[in-house]
Amino acid sequence: MDIAEILSKVDHTLLKPACTGAEIEALCREALEFHTASVCVPPVYVRAAAELLGGRVPVCTVVGFPNGYDTAASKVFQAKDAIINGADEIDMVIHIGAVKDGRYDAVAEEIAAVREACDGRILKVIVETALLTRDEKIALCRVVTETGADFIKTSTGFAGGGATFEDVQLIKEHIGPNVKIKASGGIATLEDAAEFIRLGCARLGASRLVALAKARKGDAV
């Protein structure tokens, strides 16, 4: 697989707590150079990223990140605020505790509320697969499908585990045709990135792939 094809599916990401404005600017310039699918930045940097990119690369940000236990109203506010500041895509973390309680209706209501707040923009739903049982993963595939979200996303990368090939295969079997898959968390090699794409991922959340591509520009994977 061509490296350019891989990067075209990458949300070039910088979400570490201590990231600086200069690092966000560098991230955006890399996204322009390597034609990534988007940049994914903390909410506080959305406006700066949007102004720098000028619509040439979509700006993604996170809601309820990384733990997901903000109230639904708070997540709706965060999504609206991000959009006002120029966000094109929203990655929201669901309330994992509600899943553990079996309150899937509450999870669905939360996703639907954030989807409405997105006003037609892309919504990716982070389900944090590392914290879920197999049955919970399958149930959330149904919930995300029924709420009309655009993507189901595996992980934040902050919960002790990230994307796995097995989880992507399971999700692929149980989501509806309207839902795409984003693998995120711990994608450390271009070879793994290529395999996630082959398994059906339309997006990858990654912070390291552009740096790896710089070292191997023009190669195939």
Active site residue 16: no
Active site residue 119: no
Burial 40-55 (b: 16+ CB within 10 A, else e): bbbbebbbbbbebbee
Please pick, among 80, 153, 167, 192, the residue that the annotation labels catalytic. Answer: 153
CA distance 107 to 111: 6
First to last CA, the chain: 5
Residue pair 114/76 in contact (Cβ under 8 Å)? The answer is yes
Please pick, among 75, 88, 182, 192, the residue that the annotation labels catalytic. Answer: 182
Burial tier of 21 (Cβ tally within 10 Å: 0-12, 13-18, 19+)? exposed
Please pick, among 91, 150, 167, 192, the residue that the annotation labels catalytic. Answer: 91
Catalytic annotation, residues: 91, 153, 182
